[in-house]
Amino acid sequence: MSAQFQVAIVGGGLAGLALAVHLETLGIDWFLLEAYEEIAPELGASIGLPPNGMQVLDQLGVYDEVAAQAGTGSSVVAYDGDGNKMYDFELLPRMRATHGFDLRFTERRTVLKILYDKIQAKDKVHTSKRVSKIEHVGDKVEITTLDGSSYTADIVIGADGIHSPVRGEMWRNAAEDGSKVFGENPGADVVTEYGCTFGISDPTNDLKEGDLRHVHRKDAAVGYIVGRKDIVYWFHFFKLPQKHMGIDFPRFTKEQEKEITDADLDRVMTPGTTFGDVYKNKTISIITALPNHRFPRWHYRRVFCVGDAVTKSQPIAGQGGCSALESSVALVDHLYAALKENDMKPLSNDQVEAAFTKTTEVRKERSTTVINEGLLYMKFASWSNFLYRLIDKYIVRLIPKTTMVDLMFSGAAGGYHSNTLPAPVDRYVKGTGEPVSAKKIDGTDDEN
């Protein structure tokens, strides 16, 4: 339909692959450059998918595949650092009745493989292509990769993560043009206060699928969720010794991971299991800094960034991947609207600018809310002040359990839905939480 207008996607992660699936569905030409040698490498990362994330995946046509391989978070139990249970509540009844979907959890690479399998034109996906330079040439953008390859497209979308080369090139282009749209020193005010070790462990002791457990203490939080086949996806959040400013984020060695983790190995996760038991059973782990930011501007000329490159939230709230998905489909919606108005012909610089600006405006408020709520949750769980500790230990247990589910997953409400893809179909009846019949889901029910 629109072979003349071509989109270059940089990054084969969640946002990048979602962009590819969406663009392909609408008939907009695209290609994807991924720095790694393969799509969905084993990095030890897991992903939580609250209802809003599952709704976007449903629109992209991969809900069933993800649901078949992802576990469901069914109950929450929280302990203090001394092993005392503070509170517990069931997730599924309230979540299903409120949102029509539930919480899913699996390896990040599992979701990436499913999205990649959805792509028809896999010859448009190029691996081992790390971007080194981006230049604007007339109404096109030229991309050079470290291996010397060169590509040309109408626009570039950077879905290449927190260390985004595309973002760096976008800033460089603006500076060389004499533009001040990103300020004097973009990224200098990015704050990093926390870090985390993420890991995956084999089945451990009495931990069963659906369990979601937290341990909260001063300056740290440990937790896990158990997925399919009782595989344990765990996290160990910790506060950095001092606040870090800027985008040269702290790096950690495996020795530092062990040293930091050792402080919490004795934390009780269940009456029969400590964090040390889970850690001993790990198959893979990765330690990383957790910056917190939302850049005010996400684009320059014909380059736009989505996901962690411009909006990074604390993963304890489980909204990082969902936010990237929402921004990705919002961007494609606005590009498609612009192309339709232009008879599917290549867009002018002004038309590209308008589509990019509209996308940012649509996503600005919600992405800010998600980031702020994620940081608040992180500070609350790690008892950053006396009041949070007091509320967590003694007040939360008095709050109605349904209210706690609503608060814990407030980010699942009001998610962006694409207007160029089929509307998401609830899997559970809102109000009751009862499963929706297969006929209603696939549209064969006579009542529809």
Q: Average pLDDT, stretch 324-349?
A: 98
Task: State residue 41's pLDDT score.
Answer: 81
Q: What is the pLDDT of residues 106-157, one digit of tens each?
A: 999 999 999 999 999 999 999 999 999 999 999 999 999 999 999 999 999 9
pLDDT single digits (tens) 163-202:
999 999 999 999 999 999 999 999 999 999 999 999 999 9
Alpha carbon of residue 72 to chain centroid: 17
Which of these ranges, 129-143, 355-369, 425-439, has the smallest mean pLDDT? Answer: 425-439
In angstroms, rounded to a whole number, what is the distance separating the alpha carbons of residues 100 and 210?
18
Q: Given the structure tokens 């978070």, which residue do they identify? A: 73
Q: For position 442, what pLDDT does the model report?
A: 77
Residue 415: per-residue pLDDT: 96
Ordered DSSP codes for 120-174:
S-GGGEE-S--EEEEEEETTEEEEEETTS-EEEESEEEE---TT-HHHHHHHHHH
CATH number of 2-188+292-412: 3.50.50.60
Rounded CA separation 428/294 (Å)? 33
Helices 349-381 and 320-341, interaxial angle, to 10°? 170
Q: What are phi and psi of 216, to 5 degrees?
A: -110, 135
pLDDT confidence of 447, banded at 50, 70, 90? Answer: low
Query: Across the chain, which distance is largest between two alpha carbons, in Å?
Result: 65
Banded pLDDT at 16 (limits 50, 70, 90): very high
Domain ranges of the chain: 2-188+292-412
Residue with structure tokens 């499963």? 435
Residue 205: both structure tokens together? 């002791």
Q: CA–CA separation, 69 vs 105, rounded Å?
A: 9
- Bridge-partner residues for 285, per DSSP? 199
Each residue's pLDDT tens digit, 203-220: 999 999 999 999 999 999
- Name the percent of the chain lying above pLDDT 90: 94
pLDDT of residue 446: 56
Q: What is the 3 state secondary structure string of 195-219?
A: EEEEEEECCCCCCCCCEEEEEEECC
pTM recorded for the entire structure: 0.96
Mean pLDDT computed over 70-87: 94
pLDDT in the model for residue 1: 44
For all residues of the chain together, what is the average pLDDT? Answer: 95
Between CA 16 and CA 306 the distance in angstroms is 9
Q: Read off the pLDDT of residues 282-304 as tens digits, 9 standing for 90 and up.
A: 999 999 999 999 999 999 999 99
Q: Measured in whole angstroms, how far is the alpha carbon of residue 382 from the centre of its chain?
A: 21
- Work out the number of other CB atoms within 10 angstroms of the CB of residue 323: 30
For residue 2, the model assigns a pLDDT of 42
- Please report the DSSP string for 371-414 in residue order: HHHHHHHHHHHTT-SHHHHHIIIIIGGGS-HHHHHHHHTGGGTT
First to last CA, the chain: 31
Helix 92-99 × helix 51-59 angle, to 10°: 50
SS3 358: helix
Shortest CA distance to 419 belongs to which of 156, 65, 154, 56? 56
Tokens 């980010």: give the residue.
Answer: 411
